[in-house]
Chain A
Amino acid sequence: MTSRLSAITWNTFREAVRDRVLYNLVLFVLLLVASAPLFSQISIGLEKLMLVNVGLSSISLFGVIIAIFVGIGLVSKEIEKKTLYTILSRPVRRWEFIVGKYLGLLLTLVVNTALMTVGFYLALLIFINGLKRADAMLLVAVYFIVLQFMMMVAITLLFSTFSTPIFSAIFAFALYVIGTFGEDLKNFAAMSHGATKWLAMGASYIMPNFASLNVIAQAAHEQNVGSGLIFSNTVYALLYSLAVTVAAVMIFERRNLK
């Protein structure tokens, strides 16, 4: 089982690399370098605030775009091109294929994010003239971004098991947007009454909550993120990703591949 899982994971990662997904790193560097002249025109305090905001938001946005556009094809492309025929005729369980694909794309995003983070710290070093001890907290924001990717990959993978790439992209993007307003949905549920309250509450549990995973503003203002939030966010992202991946497996286990 481990050998098959690692083979599928590695192949998914290799596909992303060979399809030049990591070329987005070049774009990321260009974005940081191009926005540097803007930073220098702003006063010293705001310069760093802006760099942190641009850097972390880019890391998040680039990753979400990769998660959506690579994720939607993870299963549907294999069905369409019939590459799955030669996989499923081997001793590969269908759940192993789904989990392997999930881990492969997540690995791609983790490597991508790690490289971007190195670039981001280098930018801090160059443009802000040095790093402070407090800058280590920026890593918490990056960690939360990776937790978001865990959830986004599971969501796009789920859609990929039963929908066409275009619809999957629309659904996944819609969920991402809704998820960024996750806290608002919760607050709405708390303020509502009757059936609306239950509906809003149900929706707030089903929809991903990316708002609580976004601490870019705190990080930019050098505010500490409590260990309680780190723990609860980790558990939340793990459980949400697990539930969505199990749903993807359940759909795929029953699917006739045409």
Chain B
Amino acid sequence: MLAIEIKNLTKEYAVGFWKKQWRPALKSLNLTVEAGETFGFLGPNGAGKTTTLKLLMGIIFPTSGSATILGKDFLDPEVKRRIGFLPEQPYFYDYLSAPELLDYYARLSGVPAPVRKQRIGELLGRVGLADVGNKQLRKFSKGMLQRVGIAQAIIHDPEVVFLDEPMSGLDPVGRHEVRELIQSLKDAGKTIFFSTHILSDAEALCDRVAVIHKGELRGVGVVNDFRSSLAEKTEVIWLGATALSAVNSLLAEVHVTGDTVRGTVQSGDLDRLLEKLRQQGARLISVMPVQRTLEDYFLAKTREEEKEAVTL
């Protein structure tokens, strides 16, 4: 079952003094996310990630296109009961305490009073804020606010959770904690759609990722495929710089430090390289396949246009 289906979603802003020119922020986005999936929405800053999330949340309206969440139109108030949202660098009513804020949001989401009280206590414990008491949010650190942000996004036990840059601005400990929280949501079977430009987070948490750049979808891929795919290149390190002249034609890249040589070879040429090194009497130190990473995929997708432009 599809949790999210986005069809030709487009957003253009009127710019210029007379507002007669149109600047596209999102160009005809098509995307589907399965129920229970953790989906990473990747892109550099200004790529259109937040625009997409703001559209899906009904904060801004699309120029054209449509979307469904849990099978219903994304603007249907009934849908909003079943989704949660953490905006990028969230700001909350700082005159409230964490329990007051969560109670307010729970009321807006229609959570009945007895359930509210129990859930607030339980959630504050889960995000590590059980002992904050009635301290106002203006006295909270950034990491604590982010945890409150996650708590408000799931206070009504939603089926789909949208997170916009949930790790941005956090220190390594904060990032680790937020990552664990997302993992626990994943374990609970929630559908998670989160935007990020931190690739290691996406690699650790996501089942699938989409790369968006300059408002355009550049590709969608399964994270495990990057890890399990056969390495295209292999890195070989050996002692014996004199052997280099005999094997140089096989190497894609080479770095020499004293007598130590580090070369990269296409995996198809590996046997020939090893054979020649043996003939030259070089001493092998390591042979390591170069795995394709999410970063390679991301860079390839975001640089496609530049390459095309250079070719033209």
Contacts and interface: CB of A to CB of B under 8 A. Distances in A.
A91 B109 contact: yes
Contact of A84 (B59, B77, B83, B153): B59
Contacts of A15: 93, 95
Nearest to B92: A83
Contacts of B54: 85, 257
Contact of B80 (A84, A91, A258): A91
B21 to A, nearest CB: 17
B60 interface: yes
A86 B86 CA distance: 7
Contact of A85 (B87, B107, B109, B156): B87
B27 interface: no
A18 interface: yes
A91 B60 contact: no
A93 B107 CA distance: 14
B90 A86 contact: yes
Interface in B4-62: 54, 57-61
A18 B107 CA distance: 20
Given A91-B77, A91-B80, A93-B77, A86 B107 contact: no
B186 to A, nearest CB: 20
B265 to A, nearest CB: 51
5 contacts: A11-B104, A85-B59, A89-B84, A91-B80, A256-B59
A14 B95 contact: yes
B14 to A, nearest CB: 10
The 7 closest A-B pairs by CB, nearest first: A89-B85, A18-B95, A7-B107, A256-B60, A89-B57, A91-B77, A85-B87
B81 A91 contact: yes
Given A14-B95, A18-B95, A257-B60, A86 B77 contact: no
Interface of A: 3-4, 7-8, 11, 14-15, 18-19, 81-93, 254, 256-258
A88 B93 contact: no
B187 interface: no
B149 to A, nearest CB: 8
B105 A86 contact: yes
A17 to B, nearest CB: 9
A151 to B, nearest CB: 27
A88 B85 CA distance: 10
A170 B84 CA distance: 38
B92 A86 contact: yes
Contacts of A11: 93, 96, 104
B87 A86 contact: yes
Nearest to A16: B95
Contact of A89 (B58, B61, B93): B58
Nearest to A96: B108
Nearest to A81: B91
B306 interface: no
A90 B93 contact: no
Nearest to A80: B91
Nearest to A258: B60
Instruction: Indicate the member of A14, A86, A91 with the most B CB atoms within 10 Å.
Output: A86
B114 interface: no
A83 B110 CA distance: 19
B308 interface: no
B95 A90 contact: no
A256 B91 contact: no
Nearest to A10: B104
Contacts of A83: 91-93
B158 to A, nearest CB: 10
B10 to A, nearest CB: 14
A86 to B, nearest CB: 6
B108 A7 contact: yes
B206 to A, nearest CB: 22
Interface in B70-108: 77-78, 80-81, 83-85, 87, 90-93, 95-96, 104-105, 107-108
Nearest to A8: B108
Contact of B110 (A88, A91, A93): A91
Nearest to B61: A256
B66 interface: no
A85 B153 CA distance: 11
Contacts of B105: 86, 90
A90 B109 contact: yes
- Which among B58, B59, B152, B156 has the highest number of chain A CB atoms within 10 Å? B59
A117 B105 CA distance: 35
Contacts of B83: 89
A77 B60 CA distance: 17
Contacts of B78: 91
Contact of A3 (B93, B96, B110): B110
Nearest to B11: A256
Given A81-B91, A82-B87, A88 B77 contact: no
A83 B54 CA distance: 13
